[in-house]
Structure formats: C-alpha cells, structure tokens
Amino acid sequence: MSEKTVSAESGNPYQSLKNLWPYMWPSERPDLKRRVALAMGFLLISKLILLSVPFFFKWATDALNGQLDSSYLPEMLLAPVMLVIAYNTARLVQWGFNQLRDALFARVGQYAVRQLAFKTFIHMHQLSLRFHLERRTGGLSRIIERGTKGIETLVRFTILNLAPTVLEFALTAVIFLFAYGLSYVTVAALTIWLYIWFTVRASDWRIQIRKDMNHSDTEANTKAIDSLLNFETVKYFGNEDMEAKRFDVSMKDYEKSATQVWTSLGWLNMGQGTIFGIGMTIMMVMSAIAVGQGQHSIGDFVLINVMLMQLSIPLNFIGFVYREIRQALTDIEQMFDLLDVEAEIKDSADAFDLDIKDGAIRFSDVHFAYDQNRPILKGISFDVPAGKTVAIVGPSGAGKSTLSRLLFRFYDVQKGTVSIDGQNVCDVKQKSLRKVIGMVPQDTVLFNDTIEYNIAYGRVSASKEEVAEAAEMAQIGSFIKSLPDGYKSMVGERGLKLSGGEKQRVAIARTILKAPPILILDEATSALDTATEQEIQASLDFVSKGRTTLVIAHRLSTVINSDEIIVLKDGLIAERGKHSNLLSQNGLYASMWDRQREATEAEENLKRVHESDELGIIKRKKTDPVSE
C-alpha cells in the first residue's frame, strides 16, 4: 500500500483479530501468558458456579414447599435456611472469581494498548515528509486515539464477555436438555438465534450510522485543531465567524448522526426485549403446564425462570458487546491501515553508517519533482567543498529549499546523486546521515516546553552547563537569564511566546549543541527585520565557521561573503560565482540585488522620517509643555 492510499473504511475483521492476537498472547512475555491462562481458568470456574446458583434456588423452593427430593443432597443442606445461604454464597463466590479474572487480564489488555500505540507512534515518524504534508494532523491523531481505545475494548469484550457468554449458552443448553428435554432446548435455541440474528442485523445498520458520526467527529476535530493552530491568521483576517461556521457545519452533521445512533438504539432494545419476552413466556407456560400435570415441581418452575433471567443478562449485553466489538474493529482497522503504509524513504538492506571525514557535499545531475507533471530540479550539479560556504539564491519556486530536503533525504532524487564525502545519501542509514547535518530553518517551530528542553533537543544528553554555553554562543543567554523562570520558562505552543529573533536564536543554540560538521541555513533570517537580521547573521557566521555550509537565502545581503553563490531559475543553474563577479555580469543576480537594495533604502528612509517626526514632537513638548 502506498502512502497515498490509506483506507479509512473498515477492512477484514478477521485480519484485525489476527494482527491483534500476538499482543493478547505475547510470545516474549510468559508472565502475561500465565495471566491469560489463569484468567481463563477463573472464567470457567465462575460459569460453573453461576449455573449452580438456580439449583440452590430450586432446592430451597422445594424444601419450603415440602417437595424436596433429598436423596442427592448432603444432609447439612436439607434445611431451607442452609439452601438459601448456599444460594447466596454461590453468587458471592461467582462474583469474586469474575473480579479475579478481570484483575488478572487488566495487565494483558493494557500491554496490548501500549505496545500497539508505541508501534504506531514509531511508524508515524518513519513515514515520509510527503505523507505528513498530505495528511491532516487532527484527523490522524483522532484515528490513533480511537484505535488505541478500540484495542482495549476488543480485548476486554472478546476475552472477558463474549467467550463467557458463549460458554454460558452451551452449558445452559446441556442443563435444559438433560433436565427438561429437547422441547425446552429447542425453544431456548430458537429464541437465542432470533435474538442474535436481530441484534446483528440492527447493529450492522447502526454501525454505518456510527461511521458517519465518527467521520463528522473527525472533520470537526480537524477543523478545530487547524483553526487553533492558525490562531493568529484567523485574527489577522477577522475570520472568526467563518471558522465558527465551518466548525458548526461538521458539528451539525455530527448532531444528526449522533441523534440517529440513540434513536436506533431504542428500536434495537425494543426488538431485543420483544424477542426474549416471547421466548421466555413460551418456556414459562410450558413449565407451568408441567407443574399442573405433576411432571415438574414448583422448584423446577423457579429454576427455569432463574436460568432464563440469568441468561437474559448476557443476552442483553451481547448486543452492546457486538456493537462495541464491531466499532472497535473499525477503529483498529484504520490504525492497522496506518501501520500497513510503507515508508517512501527506507534504508536499503545493505545500508551502512555514513563515514564522515571532511563533510564535502556534491549534487550531480540531480533531477527531482514532487509531481511528475511539474519538475522542480532539472539537472543540478554543484559542490560544497569541505569547510566552505555555498549559497543558493533565486526567485520563489526555483527549487532552493528542495535541495536541503534532498540532502536530508526527506525525498529521493529521480535521477542523479546527492553525496557526502563520495557516499551516496541513498546508500547510507538515514539516522547516521541526519546525525551529521544541522538545520536552522526559516520558520523555527519549538516544542511547547521549556527553553532548556528546546535547546537541549540538539543533543539530549547535554548537561545544563553545555546548554547554557550554547545559549551564550547564540547570544540569547542574557535574555533567558532575565526571564522570571530562566531556562525553565515555557515557550508556548509552537514557541509563540518568543519573538521571531528569539526563536531563531534558540534554533541556533540547539544547532551549536548538536555540533554537526555540515550546516544548512534555510532562509534563516528572511522573516526577520533588518536590525534583528544583522544580529542573527553574526550568530550564524559564528556557527558556520569551519563547517561545510549550504545557505539557502532570500536576502542577498546575507550571502555576499559566501565562497560561491549559485543562482537558480526554473530548476536550473542560471549563474554562479562570487558576489562581485555576479554583480559584474549584470544578469539575474544583479537585478535581484538592485531590487533588494532599493527596498532596503526605502525602508531606511521611511525609518529616518519616523525618527525625525518623533524627534520634532519631543522638541515641541520641551518648548511648549502646555501643548499637550
């Protein structure tokens, strides 16, 4: 299955159960296997005791009525009071064994939940950037959330409810057959068959309604998360009402489906009650006639009634169990669909660790397209010598950032090679490749944790002293110390509590801490103002010193000291050379330089005007204080 064809519909439930079985009977955990075996033993004992309970009720009734046949009972149980005590003791013991069964199996169920959730989490990180760009985070998280809950539901209901119910049906049929004859078994079997048939048909109908409700729930959750993640954008354009309406449309569909779910539940319960009530009435009438004819005692009439009442409890529950199991299977199947998605970028069987020596980078005749109908790179070749800095510039859409993604191997080239120290990045292990490359992106997204955590993310084993040292090198140490909580200050969702420059300095600090031999600066200052850019640029120059550096730049002022500047246009190298040489060619680079210089001069002139206006206001206030 490709990453683009993840099914959201239910597949084969038997395959899902097969996939889940190794987690319910884990080969590497003999202790959990023993728990399963003990739980099954307690289950059997519990059901045998449960089926003895009606007999104590029958004997107590016959004893009180003077009809008790004492030939097969111990003398100590002949008194009605003792039979009543035995009846209630059996119920209590049976309940106790049920609790032991549930307690023993709890760890098995939670183990299955944790292992599958962990496996899914790992798998999500192994999938390609393309997969995550095309999927919606809210919907994906909902699938995983429902899948993990579905695992627990399936384990609990299949092992702890469905299996005991089937066992109870079988034992009850045997008792009716030997104690009261085939006619009672026939009526009971027909009642149960009709009950289950109706339950399955009605539940299948309701499951489709439930799927529609889940779809609406996923849509509403996706829109809510997407809107909240883009909180600032919503505010910029004043589109709160539009976002609320979009959310309400999904919630309206959810409301409709949820209403149908509860309405259909009423019809299901009514049908179940009717079927079981008719069957119970027939059997009670048969028993009453037999009592009148002297074939049964009053105790037999009571026993049949109690047996049917006991049977009604799991029967009433089996409809719920079936619905929950089917829903759990649907949710788990979506989770297994995710696990079946093959990673687009995988290490080959003979992949080896990257042997980094000098850190020289080479792009050789690289062709690449995200979509076959729209090629991005059309035969790019250039070198980044060890310890040197090469800048990539060009208009938007020229393919600049694509080069960094290919170097990180987020995608594989369609033709050509990308190599480090002569080793094709497609031949080495991804982990060893990304270990030697540092990245300072244009849009630094931080974890909603402390500043210390975000800096230490560059090297999780770093000490607090090393984190502080990296922060000082990135020129953000004094700012952190000025905060009330210092390095323990929370940065907020996606780092929104920090300014753009502060986030960039955090990104630089964690890159310093990682200490990679190769560095990528992907438009690291393009979103900053001129003053902040100059400050950040000084930190970037420090970080890149002595490292093989690939700079992807929008502002040409940041790359004038690069060892080589490559100008991309329409996926091809249009020009290349040093800053002065490119200006002298009077080509694309020179025109870009002129436009940016004019924009910078206009910005500075406007700034001087504002400063002059502010200075004039201050002077007027000093000479004429009353003018305020």
Confidence check: pLDDT of 444 > 70: yes
CATH of the domain at 424: 3.40.50.300
Confidence of residue 8 (pLDDT cuts 50, 70, 90): very low
Q: Output the pTM of the full model.
A: 0.60
How far apart CA 183 and CA 410 sit, in angstroms, is 70
How far apart CA 32 and CA 113 sit, in angstroms, is 14
Do residues 569 and 487 share a domain?
no
Domain assignment of residue 618, yes or no: no
Give tens-digit pLDDT for 182-191: 888 888 889 8
Look at the block and give the residue holding tokens 């040093």. 578
345, 410 Cβ separation under 8 angstroms: yes
Residue 242 identity = M
Confidence check: pLDDT of 3 > 50: no
Confidence of residue 447 (pLDDT cuts 50, 70, 90): confident
Do residues 407 and 448 share a domain?
no
Residue 358 identity = D
**What was the pLDDT predicted at 365?**
92
Which range in 96-100, 103-107, 303-307, 380-384 is most confidently predicted, on average pLDDT? 380-384
**What was the pLDDT predicted at 118?**
78
Confidence check: pLDDT of 78 > 70: no
Confidence check: pLDDT of 417 > 50: yes
**What was the pLDDT predicted at 613?**
58
Give tens-digit pLDDT for 463-510: 989 999 888 888 888 888 888 888 898 887 666 778 877 888 888 888
* Cα separation values, 269 from 20, 86, 158, 207, Å: 31, 34, 21, 15
Top pLDDT among 628 and 110 is at: 110
**What was the pLDDT predicted at 70?**
55
429, 347 Cβ separation under 8 angstroms: yes
Confidence check: pLDDT of 90 > 90: no
Do residues 463 and 325 share a domain?
no
CA 47 to chain centre: 39
> Mean per-residue pLDDT for 44-71?
72
Do residues 491 and 454 share a domain?
yes
Give tens-digit pLDDT for 316-364: 777 677 767 777 777 777 777 777 777 777 888 898 999 988 889 999 9
Domain assignment of residue 183, yes or no: yes
Domain that holds residue 103: 13-340
**What was the pLDDT predicted at 136?**
56
Domain assignment of residue 287, yes or no: yes
**What was the pLDDT predicted at 420?**
92
Vertex 450 angle, CA 449 and 452, to 5°: 130
Do residues 380 and 455 share a domain?
no
Q: Which helix (H) or strand (E) holds 23?
A: helix 13-24
105, 160 Cβ separation under 8 angstroms: yes
Confidence check: pLDDT of 626 > 50: no
CATH of the domain at 23: 1.20.1560.10
Confidence of residue 383 (pLDDT cuts 50, 70, 90): very high
> Mean per-residue pLDDT for 25-46?
79
Domain assignment of residue 346, yes or no: no
**What was the pLDDT predicted at 88?**
74
Top pLDDT among 384 and 63 is at: 384
**What was the pLDDT predicted at 628?**
42
Closest CA to 566 of 372, 423, 442, 389: 389
- How does DSSP assign 173-184, residue by residue? HHHHHHHH-HHH
Q: Which residues contact 103 (CB under 8 A, 6 or more apart)?
A: none
The two most distant CA atoms of the chain are separated, in Å, by: 122
> Mean per-residue pLDDT for 366-374?
85
**What was the pLDDT predicted at 250?**
79
**What was the pLDDT predicted at 423?**
92
Give tens-digit pLDDT for 240-281: 888 888 888 878 878 887 887 788 778 878 888 888 889 888
Confidence of residue 382 (pLDDT cuts 50, 70, 90): very high
How far apart CA 299 and CA 84 sit, in angstroms, is 13
Confidence check: pLDDT of 622 > 60: no
Give tens-digit pLDDT for 557-615: 888 888 999 999 888 899 999 988 999 888 888 988 888 888 767 766 666 666 565 55
Number of domains in the chain: 3
Do residues 423 and 458 share a domain?
no
Domain assignment of residue 416, yes or no: yes
User: Do the strands 361-368 and 415-420 form a parallel or antiparallel pair, or are they unpaired?
Assistant: antiparallel
Do residues 194 and 152 share a domain?
yes
Do residues 126 and 237 share a domain?
yes
> Mean per-residue pLDDT for 64-93?
63
Confidence of residue 525 (pLDDT cuts 50, 70, 90): low
How far apart CA 43 and CA 48 sit, in angstroms, is 9
**What was the pLDDT predicted at 139?**
58
Give tens-digit pLDDT for 213-250: 877 787 788 888 888 878 877 887 788 888 888 888 87
**What was the pLDDT predicted at 363?**
93
Do residues 264 and 395 share a domain?
no
> Mean per-residue pLDDT for 184-204?
85
What percentage of residues in the chain have a pLDDT greater than 70? Answer: 82
**What was the pLDDT predicted at 68?**
60
- How does DSSP assign 521-547, residue by residue? EESTTTTS-HHHHHHHHHHHHHHHTTS
Domain assignment of residue 117, yes or no: yes
> Mean per-residue pLDDT for 452-458?
88
Domain assignment of residue 351, yes or no: no
Top pLDDT among 269 and 74 is at: 269
> Which of 515, 534, 549 is the C-terminal boundary of a domain?
515
Do residues 328 and 449 share a domain?
no
Do residues 391 and 535 share a domain?
yes
Own/partner pairs for 464-471, CB < 8 Å, 24+ apart?
466/513, 467/509, 467/513, 470/509, 470/510, 470/512, 470/513, 471/505, 471/509
Of the candidate ranges 62-66, 456-460, 546-550, 563-567, the one whose mean pLDDT is the lowest: 62-66
Q: What is the mean pLDDT of the chain?
A: 78
User: Do the strands 415-420 and 389-393 form a parallel or antiparallel pair, or are they unpaired?
Assistant: unpaired
Domain assignment of residue 56, yes or no: yes
Do residues 245 and 169 share a domain?
yes
**What was the pLDDT predicted at 2?**
40
